[in-house]
Amino acid sequence: MTRHLSDLLADVRSGTDPGPFALLRREGTDLVEVLAGTAHQVDRLADIPLPPGPATRPATLAVVPYRQIAERGFACIDDGAPLECVRVSAYQQVPVATAMAALPAAPVVTTRGGFDITDDEYAELVATVLRDEIGGGAGANFVLHRTYRARLADGASATADGQGRSAALTAGLSALRRLLRDERGAYWTFLIYTGTRVLVGATPERHVSVSDGLAMMNPISGTLRHPDGGDPDLDSVLSFLADPKEVDELYMVLDEELKMMATVAEHGGQVVGPYLKRMSRLSHTEYLLAGRNCHDVREVLRQTMFAPTVTGSPIENACRVIARHEVGGRRYYAGVLALLGHDDAGGQTLDAPILIRAAEIGLDGDVRVPVGATLVRHSTAAGEVAETHAKASAVLAALGLSSRSASSGASGASGAFGAPGAVPAPESGVAAPVTRPEHPTVARALAARNDRLAEFWLRQRSPGAMVEPALAGRRIVVVDAEDSFTGMLVHLLRALGLRVRIVAWEQTARVDLADADVLVAGPGPGDPSDLTDPRMVALRDVVDHALRRGQPLLGICLGHQVLADRLGLVVSRRQLPFQGLQREIDFFGVPRRVGLYSSFTAHGTDDLLSTAHGPVQLCRDAADGAVHALRGPGFAGVQFHPESVLSQDGLQILRELLTAILPPGAAGTLIRQSSAECGRAGTIRYGGSASRPTG
C-alpha cells in the first residue's frame, strides 16, 4: 500500500489529521522515505510489534524514550514519556528534491525562547559533577542535558478543528525542509508524527543497526565548532585531533560501546576507523564497531540502552548521576528511533539512530530542543556551556531560533582542509557530499589515533588462535561489581581458552565460588573504603575468602584496590582522577601501555611487601608510589583495565598473570559457546551453570 507524500501534506494543509507518519532521509541516499501506519503504545521493548512482512518496506517504527532505561534496572527520572510505535502499512520513496519542493517553506514563528537552566546554572552543574562525581570515582564521563524551550506563535491548544495539530505539523515540516537543505553528514534527517507529538531533527549518530546478521554501532565524540559560513582550516582541524580532551572523550565512549558490543556480538566486535564526521556547523570524530549478532533485534535494543555518548560510563552509575543532578526527565532525548523489519531471507533488521539534535513539538505548541555535553576530567564549565549552544544551533536555526552565536571564537577559512571543499546543499535538494577524501595530513592524524590501541579489538580474530594451552578449559569466575567492562573482559578470557562464568556482586553470598580454578574480583565504580556501600563489603568478603583458602585470585581496578587494602596497603583518592587515561608503566620490568579508569589508588613505599599471605611484589609509580600492579603467591592485581582498548598489551598481560597464579594441573576441555547459547542475551556458561546477562 502507498500513502503518497502529497496526500499527507494535503491533509496537513486542510487541518485534517493525516494519521501517524514519518519522513526520513538516511545517510548516503538522495531519497526521502515516507512511512504511514497505525499508532501503538507498548510498555517494553520486547512488546514492539515485528510481524512478518515483505523486505520491501519496514514493519515498525518505534520512538523509544529515555525512561525505558528502567528495563535494565537503571535509575532514571520517570517523566511518563510513552514508548510509541507506528506499525507501517504504507511506504513510498521520493527524491529529496521532490520532497523539498512539496514541503512548506514558511518561516516558523516562536515566542518565549530560552534554556530551562541558565548558562551560569549549567556551568555550576558541570563544576559539581567534575568535582564530586568524576573526582569521587563515580565514573569516567557523564552527559548532562538542558532543554531550550519555546512556544509556537500560532500553536493554540488542540481544538476540534485541529488548529494545534496543524500548527505543530506545519512547523515541523518547515523545519525538516531547512534541515534537508542545510544540514549534511546526518545519519537520519527526519520528521515523525505519532498522533500525539512531532519529532524533527538531524541526528549524526547511529546507535545500533542489524543487517545480514551483522550488528554495528557508531560511537561519535569530540566536537569542533565551525566558523560561521564554512569549514575550519587545516590548523584548526589538526589542533582538534590532537586535543587531549577530545582524544580521551572518543576513547572513553569507544570503550563503553565495546562493552555493549560484548553483549550482542559473538566475539565482542571489531573496531574500524576513526573517521572525521563533518556536519554543517560541527565536526566530530567517530569509530565504527561491527560484530556477528544472534539475538532478536528487540533484545539488541534492550542490551544497548543507551549510548554512552549521551549517558556516560560506566553506564549503570552514569544513570544514577544523571538522576541525581538533572533538573527533570529527559523525555525522548538520548533515547532512540528504531526501524525494524526483515530482509529478503526473512532475517530481522534494525536501524536505530540516537535521538539527539532534534526538537519535540507538542500539539499544544510547546517546543523542546534538548541538548547535552560530555563531561570528562579535562572539561571546563565554559567549554561545556558553549558546546550545548553549538549542538542545539542547527535545529534551532531550522526553527528560526538562535540560543546565541554558537560559533563565536572559531577561526579559519572555509574548506581549507578538504579536497574538494564541501558546501551546504542547495535549494534543489541535491545533497552536499557526506564523505570526501581527507587531506593527507588529516588522514595521518586520524590513523595515528590507533597506533597505541589494543590490536585485539582492531583486528579480525579467528576462534582458537589465541588460546594459551596452560589456561585452556580452566574455570574462571568473574565477580561483576557493576562495570560492564566485565563483558569485554570475558571475550579476552575466552580467547585465551578459559571457561568463564559471571556472578553479580549481590549474588556472591549465595553462590559457591570455591570450585573455580581462578576468581576475578572485577572492576566497578566507587570508593573501596566505603563500607556503607554493600558492593564494597561483598568484594571484601570475596577477596578475604579467596586469600584464606588459597584460591587463585586476580583483582582488576576496584577489585585490585580491595585486594591491596586487604594486604595492608593504604588506598586513597587521587588528587586528580585517572579516568580514560592511557599511560606507559614499568610492568615488573617490561614497559606496557595501559588504560586507567580510577579515582582511587593504592600506595606503597617499597617494591616488596611482606604480608600474612606471603611476599608481594609491587609495580609502583616512580613519582608518587601509586601501585599499578601487584603479585604474590597465587594472586595478582592490576589498577588498570587489561580489557580496555587503551591497554595495548592487555591480552598478553592477562596471559602472563593467569599462568603465574594458577598451579600446574590438567587443563579442562575447551568449551566454545554455541550459536544457540549466544541467543540467550549474553549468558556465559560453564559446567552447566548460567550467570545473569553480561550487560
The answer to whether residue 1 scores a pLDDT higher than 90 is no
Other Cβ atoms less than 10 A from the Cβ of 462: the count is 9
pLDDT of residue 665: 63
User: Which is catalytic among the residues 85, 557, 619, 678?
Assistant: 557
pLDDT of residue 668: 43
Pairing of strands 110-115, 141-152: antiparallel
Length of the chain: 695
Give the pLDDT band (50/70/90) at residue 461.
confident
The CA distance from 278 to 226, in Å, is 10
Residue of 320 and 665 predicted with greater confidence:
320
Other Cβ atoms less than 10 A from the Cβ of 460: the count is 7
Mean pLDDT confidence for 451-455? 92
Residue of 96 and 233 predicted with greater confidence:
96
Mean pLDDT confidence for 526-553? 93
Residue of 266 and 634 predicted with greater confidence:
634
| Range(s) of the chain covered by CATH 3.40.50.880 | 460-690
pLDDT of residue 226: 87
Alpha-helical runs (H) found in 550-603: 558-566
Q: Tens digits of per-residue pLDDT, 19-68?
A: 999 999 999 899 999 999 999 999 999 999 998 878 888 999 999 999 99
pLDDT of residue 538: 94
Give the pLDDT band (50/70/90) at residue 694.
very low
| Range(s) of the chain covered by CATH 3.60.120.10 | 5-448
pLDDT of residue 246: 85
Number of H helices, E strands in the chain: 16, 30
Q: Yes or no: say if 613 and 414 are a contact pair by the CB < 8 Å rule.
A: no
User: Would you state the CATH architecture of domain 460-690?
Assistant: 3-Layer(aba) Sandwich (3.40)
Residue of 406 and 474 predicted with greater confidence:
474
pLDDT of residue 90: 94
The answer to whether residue 599 scores a pLDDT higher than 60 is yes
Pairing of strands 60-64, 614-620: unpaired
133 has catalytic annotation: no
- Among 347-351, 391-395, 472-476, which is the least confidently predicted range? 391-395
The CA distance from 355 to 602, in Å, is 41
Pairing of strands 518-521, 475-480: parallel
378 has catalytic annotation: no
Mean pLDDT confidence for 444-466? 88
Q: Tens digits of per-residue pLDDT, 174-205?
A: 999 999 998 888 899 999 999 999 999 999 88
Alpha-helical runs (H) found in 27-93: none
Q: Tens digits of per-residue pLDDT, 131-181?
A: 888 887 777 789 999 999 999 987 554 444 578 899 999 999 999 999 999
Q: What integer best gives the mean pLDDT of the chain?
A: 85
Q: Tens digits of per-residue pLDDT, 478-493?
A: 999 988 888 899 999 9
pTM reported for the whole predicted model: 0.79
Q: Which DSSP string do the residues of 376-413 spell out, in sequence order? A: -TT--HHHHHHHHHHHHHHHHHHTT--SS-TTTT----
Q: What would the CATH number be for the domain defined by 5-448?
A: 3.60.120.10
pLDDT of residue 159: 46
User: Which is catalytic among the residues 226, 267, 284, 641?
Assistant: 641
pLDDT of residue 155: 57
* Percent of all residues in the chain with a pLDDT value above 90, rounded to a whole number: 59
Residue of 379 and 411 predicted with greater confidence:
379
Beta strands in 96-195 (DSSP E): 110-115, 141-152, 188-193
Q: Tens digits of per-residue pLDDT, 58-113?
A: 999 999 999 999 999 999 999 999 999 999 999 999 999 999 999 999 888 888 78
The answer to whether residue 561 scores a pLDDT higher than 50 is yes
The CA distance from 501 to 490, in Å, is 8
pLDDT of residue 32: 96
User: Which is catalytic among the residues 27, 205, 266, 643?
Assistant: 643
Helix 234-242 crosses helix 440-448 at what angle (to 10 degrees)? 0
The CA distance from 57 to 192, in Å, is 17
Quote the radius of gyration of the chain (alpha carbons, Å): 26
643 has catalytic annotation: yes
3-state SS class at 257 = helix
Q: Is the dihedral of CA 187, 191, 194, 198 positive or negative?
A: positive
